[in-house]
Structure 1
Amino acid sequence: MKLQPVIETPHPAAIWAETAPLDPLQIDCVTAVMLKILDNKCKMQPEQQMAITAIYTVVRQRQGALFEPSIHQKIDDALNADSAISCQQIHELRLYAERVIPKPVMKHFKSYLRDSLYDLN
């Protein structure tokens, strides 16, 4: 019997993110939400968290405004079960992200994201 290779369809949010005109501060907002997910402080439903994770995997290569590129390696490490990065380090990064991104910016971004992704579900 010949087995067919598994074909994974990209998440609709990832497809959206490939062409979304996100500015550097919005890229940082995606990163901040990803940190919130990893810190188990995100109040989004699991399917919304999956969408953010899909978006993050697409936009993590783009330059943000506030974070050093090394933050993405720390997030990658946290996603790796064998990683040495601690929950405390992720927690501290999340708190830092919440301090440096103005609340109105994050609120506007979340609204933009909801409006943009509404038709994808």
Structure 2
Amino acid sequence: MSDLVALYELVPAKEWLKNHRLSPNEIDCVIALKLKILDGKCKMNKLDKTLAAELYRECHTLKGDQLGDEMHALISCAGETPSQEMIEQIYETRVLAETRISRPVMKAFKARLRDTGLLPAKE
């Protein structure tokens, strides 16, 4: 499926959030995912990263169960093209943040995004 076709079939994050409330644990996942995108370690394809970043933009003021204002401030400071020094700081912060989120919670979160049309289904 081409990125253009996939984008057409998916629901924009702002619309998606009107019908899908995020739990505090899922907000933690959104924050951790944005950190992973910023530090360059995210293995998602370009389209998925773009859509996940859009979701973060819509949630950037929300606090999770474990993550919140401090992480949002770091992400805001980093911008979209962080310096190498900032990438290293984001990496260290992200690794610690991910220890607070269980693997099953993150996997279930990503599956929910795919099952409900925010991210394309895996091929």
Q: TM-score of the superposition, structure 1-length normalised?
A: 0.79
Task: Report the counterpart of residue 66 of structure 1 in structure 2.
Answer: 66
Paired residues of 1:14 and 1:51 also in contact (CA < 8 A): no
1:39-76: CA deviation from partner (whole Å, max 9, x where unpaired): 11111111111111110011121221001412101101
Task: Report the counterpart of residue 27 of structure 1 in structure 2.
Answer: 27
Deviation (angstroms), 1:87: 1.4
Paired residues of 2:12 and 2:118 also in contact (CA < 8 A): no
Q: Which runs of 5+ in 1 are unaligned?
A: 1-10
- Letter paired with 1:29: C
Count the aligned residue pairs.
Answer: 111
Question: Aligned pair in 2 of structure 1 residues 104, 69: CA closer, same or farther (>3 Å)?
Answer: same
Deviation (angstroms), 1:119: 8.1
Q: Which has the higher contact order (CA 8 A, sep 6+)?
A: 2
Q: TM-score of the superposition, structure 2-length normalised?
A: 0.78
Deviation (angstroms), 1:29: 0.2
Mapping 1:105-116, distance limit 5 Å? 105-116=105-116
Deviation (angstroms), 1:14: 3.1
Paired residues of 1:36 and 1:42 also in contact (CA < 8 A): yes
The structure that has the greater radius of gyration is 1
Give the root-mean-square deviation of aligned CA atoms: 2.5
